[in-house]
Amino acid sequence: MPDIIQLLPDAVANQIAAGEVVQRPASAVKELLENAVDAGATEIKLIVKDAGKTLIQVIDDGCGMSDTDARLSFERHATSKIRKAEELFQIRTKGFRGEALASIAAIAHVEMKSRMRENELGTKIQIAGSEVSSQEPCAAPCGTSISIKNLFYNVPARRNFLKSDSVEMRHIIEEFERVALAHPDVGFTVHHNNAELFNIKSSPLRQRIVNMFGSRYNERLVPVREETAIVSVMGFIGKPEFAKKTRGEQYFFVNDRYIKNSYLNHAVTQAFDELVSRGSHPSYFLYLKVDPSTIDVNIHPTKTEIKFTEERSIYAIIHSAVRNSLGKYNIAPSLDFDQEDIFNVAPMPQNMEVAPPEPKDYDFNPFEQGAKPSGNFGGGGRSSSGSFPTGWKDLYAITKSGDDQQPLFDREESEIFPEREAETRPVFQLHGKYICTTIKSGLIIIDQQRAHERILYEDALNNLENQGGYSQQQLFPQTVELSNADCALINDLSDDMHRLGFTIDNFGGNEIVINGIPTEAANIPVQGLIENFLEQYKNTVNEVQSNTRDRLARSLARSLCIREGKRMQRVEMLDLIDKLFACKQPQAAPNGKPTILTFANDELDKKFKA
Model pLDDT for residues 526-536, shown as the tens digit of each residue: 888 888 888 88
Tell me the CATH number of domain 445-596, given options 3.10.180.10, 3.30.1370.100, 3.80.10.10, 1.10.1060.10.
Answer: 3.30.1370.100
Find out whether 131 and 12 touch, Cβ atoms under 8 Å. no
Q: What is the mean pLDDT of residues 22-38?
A: 90
Q: Interhelix angle for 548-560 vs 526-543, to 10°? A: 130
Q: What is the mean pLDDT of residues 587-605?
A: 88
- Distance separating alpha carbons of residues 574 and 576, to the nearest angstrom: 5
State the pairing for strand pair 250-254/284-289: parallel
- Distance separating alpha carbons of residues 4 and 524, to the nearest angstrom: 66
Find out whether 194 and 282 touch, Cβ atoms under 8 Å. no
Taken as a whole, the chain contains a residue count of 610
Q: What is the mean pLDDT of residues 541-563?
A: 80
- Please report the pLDDT score of residue 362 as a whole number: 67
Calculate the CA 438 to chain-centre distance. Answer: 41
The segment with the largest mean pLDDT, out of 69-83, 326-340, 378-392, is 69-83
Judged against a pLDDT cut of 70, whether residue 361 lies above it is answered with: no
- Distance separating alpha carbons of residues 107 and 149, to the nearest angstrom: 10
Find out whether 107 and 155 touch, Cβ atoms under 8 Å. yes
Q: Which of these, 173, 184, 170, 172, lies nearest to 285 by C-alpha position? A: 184
- Please report the pLDDT score of residue 288 as a whole number: 94
May I ask the CATH architecture of the domain 205-328?
2-Layer Sandwich (3.30)
State the pairing for strand pair 187-192/43-49: parallel
Q: Which of these, 48, 83, 409, 423, lies nearest to 198 by C-alpha position? A: 48
Judged against a pLDDT cut of 80, whether residue 143 lies above it is answered with: yes
Q: 499-519, pLDDT tens digit by residue?
A: 888 888 876 667 888 888 888
Is 226 strand, coil or helix? strand
Q: 62-87, pLDDT tens digit by residue?
A: 999 988 888 888 887 766 665 555 55
pTM of the model: 0.69
Classify domain 10-200 at the CATH topology level: Heat Shock Protein 90 (3.30.565)
Identify the band that residue 320 occupies on the pLDDT scale cut at 50, 70 and 90.
Answer: very high
End-to-end alpha carbon distance in the chain: 72
- Residue spans of the domains in the chain: they are 10-200, 205-328, 445-596
- Distance separating alpha carbons of residues 327 and 271, to the nearest angstrom: 11
- Please report the pLDDT score of residue 377 as a whole number: 46
Phi then psi for residue 509, to 5 deg, are 65, -130
Identity of the residue numbered 94: K
3-state secondary structure 34-65: HHHHHCCCCEEEEEEEHHHCCEEEEEECCCCC
Most distant CA atoms of the chain, gap in Å = 124
